Amino acid sequence: MSLLGFCQWLEGTSWSIALHESLWVYPIVESVHVLTLCLFLGTAILVDLRLLGLMMRRVPFTEVFDRLQPWTMAGFVLMVISGALLFYAIPVRTYLNIFFRVKVVMLLLAGVNVWVFYRTVYRRVADWDLDGIPPKAARWAGGVSLVLWAGIVVAGRMIAYNWFDAPGVH
Amino acid sequence: MSLLPFFEWCENTGVGHAIRNSLWLFPVIESFHLLALAMIGGAILIVDLRLLGFGLKRQPAAQLLRDAEPWLIGGLVVMVTSGVLLFTSEAIKCYYSSAFWTKMTFLFPALVFTFTVRRRVATAEEGRWRPLWGKLVAVVSVSLWSVVGAAGRWIGFSG
């Protein structure tokens, strides 16, 4: 089955239709998705700013990272669940939407950025943990993360607009 | 006196017209509004979590507040600028939206509370206030800002 075929099957399931047509549940799920930005992205931004040496320079990086990570992860879980439900409510249109595809690609790149960070400069964190301004590779990781997440938010917002939708898809 | 004439005037400004007539402007300004939301969320939460005994609890709340404050103010500047622009493009819709009035009703006390009581309690010397006061302040702060955020989202669902 193709991805499109899968989305078409998903769209025909009764729960998808119920969610799509619900008066309250869909807006509530969407609001959770938006407001969780404060928890997920808000705490992720703080870590990125610390990596860039722009905030909390006197606090060891690992302290910022370790103490905020549970909150970032909790926000991420809420984001994924609410995001999956939003997709489930409108699968075919979302799958075909250019902004959704751009968002997925940037999400993957953000994941790669974290992976590279863990595999490289984070391994030597003991050497720069107390540095107010972390080494270049760490600053890059923070900067790339900020740019990608900003792009993800913008692309995510644009999914709601149908400028480039194929005719007849809604 | 009704505020409706003022809202009508806002909607008829050149800026309001320009945003309404553009395909891209509203979503682009909205995107800045959302990015500022995340920044403000982080800058508020790091202090409120600390007051509640979570997050960076080994750092003094006063220090965290001073670290976060420039980012909070920067976020608020972007938020209010983008918010005013969004408002001018649909002021009359806002006038009839209860979500809009709820948001404004909570926004004012949220701002005042953040820069008076919350700031005073968070930057006080350790031990000056009982931790319970700090926790109470954090709960009030998160509650006020949550209503502002949720009501703000709801403006988009009304009308």
**Model confidence pLDDT, tens digit, residues B85-134:** 999 999 999 999 999 999 999 999 999 999 999 999 999 887 777 788 99
Tokens, residue A27: 């807006």
What pLDDT score was predicted for residue A109? 98
B56: Cβ contacts below 8 Å, ≥ 6 apart: A56, A59, A63, A64, A67, A68, B46, B49, B50, B64
R_g of chain B, CA atoms, integer Å: 18
Encode pLDDT of B30-72 as tens digits: 999 999 999 999 999 999 999 999 999 999 999 999 999 999 9
How many other C-beta atoms lie within 10 A of the C-beta of residue A134? 23
pLDDT band at B159 (very low <50, low <70, confident <90, very high): low
Torsions phi, psi for A53 (to 5 deg): 75, 25
- On whether the CB atoms of residues B59 and B146 are closer than 8 A, the answer is no
> Tokens representing A120?
């490289």
Confidence of residue A170 (pLDDT cuts 50, 70, 90): low
Q: Are B135 and B52 in contact (CB under 8 A)?
A: yes
State the total domains in chain B.
1
**Which pLDDT belongs to residue A68?**
98
Average pLDDT, chain B: 94
What is the chain A residue with the closest CA to B158? A27
SS3 B90: coil
pLDDT score at B126 = 75
Range of the domain at B136: 4-155
Q: What is the pLDDT of residue A8?
A: 95
Distance CA A122, CA A135 (A): 10
Task: Give contacts of A 58-87 with B, CB under 8 A.
Answer: 58-59, 63-64, 67-68, 71
CB contact under 8 A, A38 and B55: no
**Residue position matching structure tokens 């509203």:** B26
pLDDT at B11 (0 to 100): 94
For testing the chain A interface, which of B45, B58, B69, B102 should be mutated: the one with the most A CBs within 10 Å?
A: B45
Across the interface, whether the CB atoms of B56 and A67 are under 8 A apart is answered: yes
Residue B12 CB neighbour total at 10 angstroms: 12
% of chain A with per-residue pLDDT over 90: 92
**Does the complex come out with an ipTM higher than 0.95?**
no
